[in-house]
Amino acid sequence: MSNITAINKNQVAFTPIVLTIAGSDSGGGAGIQADIKAMSATGSYACSVITAITAQNTLGVSAIFPIPLEHVEKQLDAVFTDLNIVAVKVGMLADDDIIKIVAAKIKQYQPAFLVVDPVMVATSGDLLIQESAISTLKAELLPLADIITPNLPEGAALIGSEIPSSEADMINMITGLRQLGAKAVLLKGGHLEQDENSNDLLIFPAGVHHLTAKRINTRNTHGTGCTLSSAIASYLAQGNDLLRAVQLGKQYISQAIAHADELEIGKGHGPVNHFFSGHANVC
């Protein structure tokens, strides 16, 4: 007889499952690949729905192929009807139709948490979304989100303002960002490179939290936005409230950036180091 003791299913620990809906980065540093790494490193189980395939490396994006809409829908139905998905992170959605189908499926399956990273421009400066799709994103998806995580150019594009050049400019964006309809907005100040610290604003309907981290001098920042939003979704799935999940996500991405130069990947903007330790949970 086998000495292996059968495990009662009721005794199995809860597995936090997080879905990433995003584009594939063939270079492995951003998109679906970064999302899965971040979710895994922070202690969750990652599943995925691929919305586009990019021909991409650390130097830039040379081609984007949107996945046929029918197959995006089939991927969504496949994972939602089988897996107990607690949190969803949405990244690159290249056109209006994909945004609409993702929003419809979020409404249909109603996951507990939705994190939207409004990916519009790659680290290299390449445009990743059709300009007409921005209005669809604002109308269909952002109002469903528990939190959206724009950087400064993305935040400016969403509310039709100039890109901030100071923290005072960031503060002036608060009202416009609240009007997008998400429950919270994390406005990331990493583009203010003249500042000693990287300062973010976590904007709630009735208050604002200032989050600060030491700025790290490295060119290896490819996939930072994907990684941070995925970590936040992961920590939400594990039962943290929104403020705590953002704080933990900020700590995680700071460490991943701090260890980025330990990797030698590509000739351009290299990726962050998702697995900077054997077990990357942040306490």
Active site residue 51: no
The residue type at 71 = H
Active-site residue, from 223, 249, 250, 270? 223
Active-site residue, from 31, 224, 227, 250? 224
What letter does residue 180 receive in the DSSP assignment?
T
Active site residue 188: yes
The residue type at 201 = L
50, 32 Cβ separation under 8 angstroms:
yes
Q: Which two tokens stand for residue 254?
A: 């700071």
Backbone dihedral angles phi then psi of residue 57, each to the nearest 5 degrees? -145, -165
**What is the three-class DSSP state of 210?**
strand
Active site residue 47: no
Distance between alpha carbon 271 and the CA centroid of its chain, in Å? Answer: 15
Active site residue 226: yes
Half-sphere exposure of 158 (CA within 13 A, CB side): 33
Active site residue 60: no
Q: How far apart are CA 136 and CA 159, in angstroms?
A: 13
Q: Nearest Cα to 222, choosing from 282, 185, 265, 255?
A: 265
Q: How far apart are CA 280 and CA 283, in angstroms?
A: 9
Active site residue 225: yes
Distance between alpha carbon 9 and the CA centroid of its chain, in Å? Answer: 32
34, 62 Cβ separation under 8 angstroms:
no
Q: Which residue's structure tokens are 């992961």?
A: 234
Active-site residue, from 225, 249, 250, 270? 225
Active-site residue, from 188, 190, 250, 270? 188
Active-site residue, from 226, 249, 250, 270? 226
Active-site residue, from 20, 51, 54, 221? 221
Phi-psi region of 269 (alpha: psi -120 to 50; beta: other; left: phi over 0): beta
Q: Looking at the annotation, which residues are catalytic?
A: 188, 221, 223-226
